[in-house]
């Protein structure tokens, strides 16, 4: 208990807050220096992705506290009592259900009509979802808002396809690293902005319950405003990356989303299928355990909605540093396949280290391994996938990667939420680490695709 109180006080300490702020400013400066090396055609997309992630991460760390306030004692459905961890699992899974359905549709749509109009439609859907979230007065409305957010969030594959369209194969992992660096900057700053929005919205501008409601609504309102701002930015500055006039004519029929889904299962030994499985299992295990992270930190270290933003800022800052300064150099040194294996080991070590931490500094070390692992794993796997798929089906397969990742993100939060309630607060992290390490066996033999570009189906 004394350790928990000391850690909680450390998160509240002005010294810790100032230190984290200085680190964030320093990394912003480093990022600014690297901006000069980024091609102009990618910079606009990176700015778009940053604002989008900033709005999303304003919401995600606050979600467990919203769920807790709307259903603190759990709920009874069909004679079954669902605890707070299980409810959180369902709420998180609702996002990925919608993303699962929408991702291949967005990918195929962007292959046919372009990446730019697809992003505009998705941003509009996200703005509506954030407003619903802000004024949610029940778990059902909160659940519905997450469904709409997931539908708008199914465009991750479209953004990745845009990067693949705009870069040479040898620079693809580096470009994806730049993109993920800006999104992780959003990860670092979004939770802090969300906590600040609650504080700002809760000031005594209105009496009583109105003040409380405004405090809860403020993050959703601001996130919706960021989406609308992003729509204007995309419409004005983002150029279409798909050049339909230069694509060679072919009589070969394009795969449908259903055919592509089945091919990943029926041809599971193909490089594209194995890469999709690696991505899906690893990201499902990682994000599934993080679905109960706020509850875990609250129980173990008494972190609250006012302090959790600093934890995410720390992790996000390391991620930005890694992806901007280290990822490209590490790819040149080890290659995408070997670097992804190193990332899997680091990610598993960081996840399992969380419940083993006895104090703030041990927690900081374990948490610091996680962004290293994600930075080395996911951009490299995605870059390899872009090499083994044909250009005209790139959006589809990038969407398929998100679809299978979505399936994993549906199952994992439910399982880890149940484990949190039934086995123990540390159990999700032990299970997660085991699943992540298991993906190493799927990566054998992929080294041949780390350099020369290969095409799926050619």
Summarize the confidence of residues 13-31 as an average pLDDT.
Answer: 67
- The DSSP-derived string for 32-99 is HHHHTTS-HHHHHHHHHHHHHHHHHHHHGGGHHHHHHHH-TT-EEETTEEEPHHHHHHHHHHHHHHHH
433 falls in which pLDDT band (50, 70, 90)?
very high
Per the model's pLDDT, the better-predicted residue between 44 and 116 turns out to be 116
Tens-digit pLDDT profile for residues 191-240? 778 877 777 655 554 454 444 456 678 888 888 888 888 888 888 887 77
User: What is the DSSP annotation of 89-100?
Assistant: HHHHHHHHHHHH
CA distance 69 to 139: 10
pLDDT > 50? residue 4: no
* Closest C-alpha to 278, from 196, 378, 362, 390: 378
Task: Please say whether the beta carbons of 218 and 200 come within 8 A.
Answer: yes
Token pair for 373:
């692992």
What is the spatial distance between Cα 253 and Cα 272, in angstroms, rounded to a whole number?
A: 19
Distances (CA, A) of 232 to 53, 119, 228, 401: 16, 11, 7, 28
Predicted confidence (pLDDT) per residue in 311-360, tens digit: 877 887 788 778 878 888 888 888 888 899 999 999 999 999 999 988 88
User: Residue 103: is it exposed, middle or buried by C-beta count within 10 angstroms (0-12/13-18/19+)?
Assistant: buried
Query: Worst-scoring range by mean pLDDT, 102-111, 129-138, 283-292, 352-361?
Result: 102-111
For the chain, the straight-line distance linking the first and the last C-alpha, in angstroms and rounded, comes to 62
Share of the chain above pLDDT 90, in %: 11
Q: What is the pLDDT of residues 47-69, one digit of tens each?
A: 777 777 777 777 777 777 777 77
Q: What are phi and psi for residue 287, nearest 5 degrees?
A: -75, -25
CA angle 349, 351, 356 (to 5 degrees): 85
**Beta-carbon count within 10 A of 251 CB:** 4
Query: Is CATH 1.20.1250.20 correct for 38-239+255-449?
Result: yes
Q: Binning pLDDT at 50, 70 and 90, where does residue 373 land?
A: very high
pLDDT computed for residue 358 by the predictor = 86
Residue 351 has a pLDDT of: 94
Q: Are 379 and 240 in contact (CB under 8 A)?
A: no
Q: Compute the distance between CA of residue 412 and CA of residue 189 in angstroms, rounded to an integer.
A: 26
**Helices 156-166 + 360-387 axis angle, to 10:** 60
Q: What is the pLDDT of residue 458?
A: 37
Angle between helices 271-290 and 360-387 (to 10 degrees): 160
The pLDDT score that the predictor gives to residue 34 is 67
Give the domain ranges of the chain.
Answer: 38-239+255-449
Q: Are 223 and 58 in contact (CB under 8 A)?
A: yes
Q: Is 209 exposed, middle or buried (0-12, 13-18, 19+ CB in 10 A)?
A: exposed
Calculate mean pLDDT across residues 113-142. 84
135 by DSSP, 3-state: which? coil
* Top-confidence residue, 21 or 345: 345
The mean pLDDT of 75-92, rounded to a whole number, is: 70
Identify which of 83, 72, 7 has the alpha carbon closest to the alpha carbon of residue 423. Answer: 83
d(CA 10, CA 194) in angstroms, rounded, equals: 20
């Amino acid at each position: 208990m004394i350790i928990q109180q000391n850690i909680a006080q450390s998160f509240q300490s002005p010294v810790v807050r100032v230190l984290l702020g200085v680190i964030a400013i320093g990394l912003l400066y480093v990022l600014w220096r690297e901006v000069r090396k980024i091609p102009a055609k990618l910079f606009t997309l990176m700015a778009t992705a940053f604002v989008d992630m900033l709005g999303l991460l304003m919401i995600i760390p606050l979600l467990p506290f919203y769920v807790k306030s709307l259903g603190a004692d759990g709920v009874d459905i069909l004679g079954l009592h669902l605890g707070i961890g299980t409810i959180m699992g369902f709420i998180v899974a609702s996002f990925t259900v919608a993303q699962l359905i929408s991702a291949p549709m967005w990918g195929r749509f962007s292959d046919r009509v372009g990446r730019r109009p697809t992003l505009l439609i998705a941003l509009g859907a996200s703005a509506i979802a954030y407003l619903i979230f802000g004024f949610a007065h029940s778990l059902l409305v909160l659940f519905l808002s997450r469904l709409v957010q997931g539908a708008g969030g199914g465009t991750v594959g479209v953004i990745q396809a845009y990067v693949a369209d705009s870069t040479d194969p040898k620079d693809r992992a580096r470009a994806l690293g730049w993109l993920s660096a800006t999104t992780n900057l959003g990860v670092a700053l979004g939770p802090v902005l969300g906590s600040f929005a609650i504080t700002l919205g809760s000031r005594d501008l209105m009496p009583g319950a109105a003040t409380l409601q405004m405090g809860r609504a403020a993050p959703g309102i601001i996130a919706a405003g960021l989406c609308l701002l992003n729509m204007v930015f995309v419409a004005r500055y983002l150029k279409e990356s798909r050049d339909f006039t230069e694509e060679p004519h072919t009589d070969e029929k394009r795969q449908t989303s259903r055919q592509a889904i089945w091919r990943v299962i029926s041809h599971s030994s193909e490089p594209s299928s194995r890469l999709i499985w690696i991505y899906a299992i690893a990201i499902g295990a990682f994000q599934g355990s993080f679905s109960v992270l706020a509850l875990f930190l609250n129980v173990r270290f008494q972190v609250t909605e006012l302090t959790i933003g600093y934890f995410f800022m720390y992790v996000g800052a390391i991620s930005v540093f890694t992806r901007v300064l280290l990822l490209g150099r590490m790819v040149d040194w080890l290659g995408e396949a070997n670097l992804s294996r190193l990332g899997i080991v680091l990610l598993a070590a960081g996840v399992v280290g969380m419940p083993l931490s006895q104090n703030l500094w041990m927690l900081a070390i374990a948490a610091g391994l996680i962004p290293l692992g994600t930075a080395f794993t996911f951009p490299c796997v995605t870059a390899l996938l872009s090499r083994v798929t044909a250009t005209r089906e790139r959006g589809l397969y990038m969407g398929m990667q998100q679809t299978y990742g979505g399936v994993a993100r549906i199952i994992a939060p439910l399982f880890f939420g149940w484990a949190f309630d039934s086995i123990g607060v540390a159990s999700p992290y032990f299970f997660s680490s085991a699943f992540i390490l298991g993906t190493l066996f799927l990566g054998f033999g992929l080294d041949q695709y780390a350099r020369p570009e290969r095409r799926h189906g050619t």
